[in-house]
Structure 1
Amino acid sequence: MTNMTRHGKNCTAGAVYTYHEKRKDTAASGYGTQSMRLGKDAIKDFDCCCLSLQPCQDPVITEDGYIYEKEAILQYILHHKTEIAKKMKAYEKQKQALKSEGQLESKSEERQRAEKFKQRENNIVSKPINPFTSDDGTPKSSASSFTSEASAGESSSSSSLPSFWIPSLTPEAKPTLLKKPSKTVLCPMSGRPLKMSDLISVHFTPLDPSLDRVALLTRQDRYVCAVTKDTLGNSVPCAVLRPSGAVVTMECVEKLIRKDMTDPVTGDKLKEKDIIPFQRGGTGFAGSGVDLKAKEARPVMQA
């Protein structure tokens, strides 16, 4: 067996541009999109609120599996309901203004039609009209007709070309029309409709029941599965049972609970919608997801 020569890390004699060399050159050049996997310090813990990013004292969970502090999510819902009420009030005010404006326009149109009708009635005469004589029978002068035509031309030009230096003749911008706001409050994470009645209380099982809340939060491993007593963490898939609010691991759900579909804490019968999986992987600067990578787009050098 012949001994193979060992290549150095900076070997440039290879015929293949390896992935390691490409990443090294990309980092050194400062060009190209870079991606890196987020560390543990950048990941929100599974028992932290999606709004405050702090450990929950009175946790609730939505039907989509996003956990919130009860006080924080209720303040969020009340704030958005107040904003929706303000937008609806402004929309109704605009609607009334447009309605009154339409009524005024209809009245002005009726008035214009009446004026035109009166003019047509007054123009109807029994004797023929001589265009070269006035009403009393005297001939019209050319100068008067010229002045009348000039004044008519001036009036038409003044009406078609307004002066922008006179405030009363400057054009006015119409206000932006408001759209009818939706009365539905959306979940800040999933974007789906959210109601107070849809929130489900969550009851964690502490690892050491003798510890108070402050001492419990300082520990890295705080809670365990309500059935198997396995330690819960970001890397352990969990689920909440709707009747009792107990937190169990997905392994416990698949191996024990799905056999008879009974809540082990309360003894209630479970449906498929009563098992709510936890959404994991949320961060403070990204929404959520299992692809925990950060990307930075930078310019690329092309040949």
Structure 2
Amino acid sequence: MNGVFWVLLIGVGLAAPYLVYPVFAMKLLCFALFACAFNLLLGYTGLLSFGHAAFFGGAAYITGHVIKVMHMDPLIGILAGTLFAMVLGAIFGALAIRRQGIYFAMITLALAQIIFFLALKLPFTGGENGLQGIPRGHMLGFIDLNDPVAIYYVVFAIFMIGFLIIYRTIHSPFGQILTAIRENEPRARSLGYNVERFKLIAFVISATLAGTAGATKSIIFQFASLTDVHWQMSGEVVLMTLLGGMGTLFGPVAGAAVVITMQDELASFGSWVQVAIGAIFVVCVLIFRRGFVGELARLLKAKSS
């Protein structure tokens, strides 16, 4: 089954700019990477964070500032945003991983609100107007990011690199230990594993890749705004992960595709779009308790047995 998903992912990814509006496809890839990064923490480590918007949006601001004000190469801007998210993830993780359950979630939310406040008040962020007019320029001096097809394939390459990092992490001994911690933390601790250290590493990896997604998004849309660091963004990535299938490799990609498509198609509803998405989410969770991909995997497994 994984082989089929790989073929679909790569095939659809390569053909996407010729099938749909490239900006829509790039937005989907950014949020798919964001959801996959979050799923590494929730689905495979068992840690529910309500503060991942801090890494996503914080990296977007840093990338925009590096490119617009410091006139650096877009690749340097993305790397700077990713590095910021990694450092911020290490700080947040060190403060939060000593708590579990709702306490962990609330700590991450509180820390993320600090980043939101800084984004609102610091002069270089543009306040409520956001950081606008981020130039795309030329990556590495020769890739024209103003060309929709060229920038799409750059975004697709970044997504695939991030996705492969997640895939390798999940299927490594380190990933197996994360799963053991999720299933039975006291037992993992009794086997001699430093649970806090493994949780912290998983948190940092998740935050770093979330930052990469946010940094890439800022170049695509050429701005970074308070929406990127708002708590609602953290809620959206939870929604994407649960819809697609928590703890599945391809589930967050499917969940991101569903949510972004609904937001685009239901945009005419205005502020009611969130109500519509919420209602659809409730129905989907009741029908597909394991998410779309999770339920599909269960049905295929039942048929094969």
Structure holding more helix per residue: 2
Please tell me whether Structure 1 or Structure 2 has the larger radius of gyration of its CA atoms. Answer: 1
Same fold (TM over 0.5): no
TM-score for both structures, normalised by structure 1: 0.20
TM-score for both structures, normalised by structure 2: 0.20
Structure holding more strand per residue: 1
